[in-house]
């Protein structure tokens, strides 16, 4: 392998892209602890989202600090960890990464119509499908991430993520970009 395996991975993307499903499967494959950021939102954030109101940076700040603390704790204990988290803005990803060595991001992207259909078909305990457009508007695609198209089945996404995380040179795109050079834009 050309790279040291990561100790911490964030599976990121908008609501409905499959972060939890892919993150749980990836954690099992990597023998890592799994953390779902949705489980750690403070009650005020949950109520705001349940009411169809998008969170702002101030709402997210204490939540991101808690997620960063959980990542740091796992890494300090020598425990590999996979976090499923929207991580929509670069400033949020920077906050998550603060003090977490060798953190990698796996960005799940897909056609808006596909993601909207998934949201319409699922029952989330507080995140309504109506917030998809605000998440897409907030999303700042990361410059450094493994980019995976969610049109691919979850187990195949995990296979691709594991290869990319391991530094498999077969994963390098034609322009040297690490990730899927054919992944559609999320907007």
pLDDT in tens, 45-81: 888 877 878 788 899 899 999 999 999 999 999 999 9
Please name the helix (run of DSSP H) or strand (run of DSSP E) that holds residue 9, with its range, or none. strand 8-12
- Answer whether residue 187 is part of any domain: no
Q: How confident is the model at residue 175 (pLDDT cuts 50, 70, 90)?
A: very low
Label residue 130 by pLDDT band (50, 70, 90).
Answer: low
CATH number for position 63: 3.40.50.300
Q: Is the pLDDT assigned to residue 90 strictly greater than 80?
A: yes
- Residue 142 counted as domain residue: yes
Note down the domain range covering 62: 8-171
- Other C-beta atoms closer than 10 Å to the C-beta of 38 total 19
The pLDDT value given to residue 8: 95
Q: What is the mean pLDDT of residues 136-146?
A: 92
Q: Is residue 59 part of a domain?
A: yes
Q: Does residue 107 fall inside a structural domain?
A: yes
**Total number of domains in the chain:** 1
186 within domain boundaries: no
**CB of 147 within 8 A of CB of 109?**
yes
pLDDT of 133 higher than 50: yes
Q: Are 2 and 37 in contact (CB under 8 A)?
A: no
pTM of the model: 0.83
In a domain, 92, yes or no: yes
């Amino acid at each position: 392998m050309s790279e040291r395996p990561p100790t911490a991975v964030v599976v990121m993307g908008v609501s409905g892209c499959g972060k939890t499903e892919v993150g749980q499967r990836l954690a099992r494959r990597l023998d890592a602890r799994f953390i779902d950021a949705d489980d750690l939102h403070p009650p005020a954030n949950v109520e705001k989202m349940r009411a169809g109101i998008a969170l702002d940076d101030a709402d997210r700040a204490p939540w991101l600090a808690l997620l960063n603390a959980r990542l740091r704790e796992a890494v300090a204990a020598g425990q590999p960890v996979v976090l499923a988290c929207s991580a929509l803005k670069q400033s949020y990803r920077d906050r998550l990464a603060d003090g977490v060595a060798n953190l990698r991001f796996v960005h799940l992207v897909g056609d808006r119509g596909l993601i909207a259909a998934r949201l319409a078909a699922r029952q989330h305990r507080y995140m309504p499908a109506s917030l998809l457009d605000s998440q897409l508007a907030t999303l700042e695609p990361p410059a450094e991430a493994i980019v995976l198209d969610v049109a691919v089945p979850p187990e195949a996404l995990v296979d691709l993520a594991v290869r990319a995380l391991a530094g498999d040179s077969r994963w390098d795109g034609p322009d040297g970009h690490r990730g899927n050079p054919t992944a559609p834009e999320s907007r």
